Amino acid sequence: MASSSTSTTGRVGKSRRKVVLVRRPSRGEQYEGRRRYCYNILLAPRWTLWSEGNPGRRFYRCRNYYQDGGCGYFEWHDGGFGERENEVIKELLNDIDNLYEENSHLRRGDACPKWYEELVALEREVLKMKSEHLLKDSEVKKVHCKFKLALATLLLTWVLLLLMYLSG
Ligand SMILES: [Zn+2]
């Protein structure tokens, strides 16, 4: 059977699509069921295609295809899906796309810039109030210190005057 045009790195439809055209299967599902062999009698792994025309359709291909093109062996696992099935799969792929998009928006904070800005503004306000409070606190301490000094000077003067009065 002729091989269809696929790519391991390409993406379906719009470039933001996260679902790759051909998904590398896990070791278990790659060889489950009846085994297929390529023209070089090598075990052929099963892949899943995610192209527009055949979304989710599985196929076998020479294991060396993605290295050097292999021997050209290709065989479908699933018969072609109906129009309705393809439509449903495409809708589900679009849903996945939209969820990816929504998720990345949320991660970037695009969906809630207003409350985020308010939060940042509040944080600045709190910092400002804290520094003002510290400044006032140090001013109060300075005044308190001056008052103590003045009181001590007054007391000393008073004691000196008393001593002068007593000795005089
Ligand atoms: Zn082969």
What is the distance in A from the centroid of ligand 1 to the CA of 146? 95
Strands 55-61 and 74-76: antiparallel
Query: How remote is the CA of residue 31 from the centroid of ligand 1, in Å?
Result: 15
pLDDT of amino acid 21: 63
Summarised one tens digit per residue, pLDDT across range 20-54 is 566 666 666 677 778 899 999 999 999 888 888 88
Cβ neighbours around 166 below 10 Å, total? 7
Q: What's the CA-to-centroid distance between 73 and ligand 1, angstroms? A: 6
Q: How far is the CA of 54 from the centre of ligand 1 (A)?
A: 23
Average pLDDT for residues 64-90, to the nearest whole number? 91
* Bigger pLDDT: 5 vs 104: 104
CA of 69 to the centre of ligand 1 (A): 9
Residue 53 CA to ligand 1 centre (angstroms): 25
Give the model's pLDDT for residue 4: 41
Helices (H), 23-79: 27-30, 65-68
Cβ contacts of 146 within 8 Å, gap of 6 or more: none
For 109-140, what is each residue's pLDDT tens digit? Answer: 766 667 778 888 899 999 999 999 999 989 99
